[in-house]
Amino acid sequence: MKRPLTTSFPVPPNPDPEPQAGPGPAPTSSWREVAPIVAALIATLAAIESGPKAGPAMRAHRSALRRQGEAATLLGGSDAMAAVLAQVADTDPARAAGRLDLIRDAWAGLPGWPG
């Protein structure tokens, strides 16, 4: 038999929020913010490079690339997308051109994407 929860923790009162002057400049995305997106993209790109180039697997990979682009868009728009592309290109300069082409194709039509 489970014993009921007998400990209660008091909720501290919410202090008055400080008034904001308005929207400030848009923050630029740092490498730490986009690192999970870059890691997921690199893993997906490695799977694309080692697997079949057509069929259901490729559609799944393109979908994964697109989801990461959507995550970058939500994180910081075109600034975050540019930061992600720069980091992907820096991880393996020999494969950068092909990888960036795959990403650009998958990200076509996303908000904030110029391509």
Indicate whether 112 belongs to any domain.
Answer: no
Evaluate if residue 1 carries a pLDDT over 50. yes
Indicate whether 40 belongs to any domain.
Answer: yes
- Residue 23: pLDDT band (50, 70, 90) is very low
Q: State the pTM of this model.
A: 0.69
Strand extents, DSSP E, the chain? none
Indicate whether 7 belongs to any domain.
Answer: no
The answer to whether residues 80 and 72 touch, using CB atoms and an 8 Å cutoff, is yes
What sign has the CA pseudo-torsion 81, 87, 93, 95?
A: negative
Lowest-confidence region among 9-13, 36-40, 71-75: 9-13
Indicate whether 55 belongs to any domain.
Answer: yes
Evaluate if residue 44 carries a pLDDT over 60. yes
Q: Could you list the residue range(s) of the whole structural domain that residue 65 is in? A: 31-106
More confident residue, 113 or 91: 91
* C-beta neighbour count of 83 within 10 angstroms: 22
Evaluate if residue 89 carries a pLDDT over 80. yes
What domain count does the chain have? 1
Indicate whether 2 belongs to any domain.
Answer: no
- Residue 15: pLDDT band (50, 70, 90) is low
Indicate whether 102 belongs to any domain.
Answer: yes
- Residue 27: pLDDT band (50, 70, 90) is very low
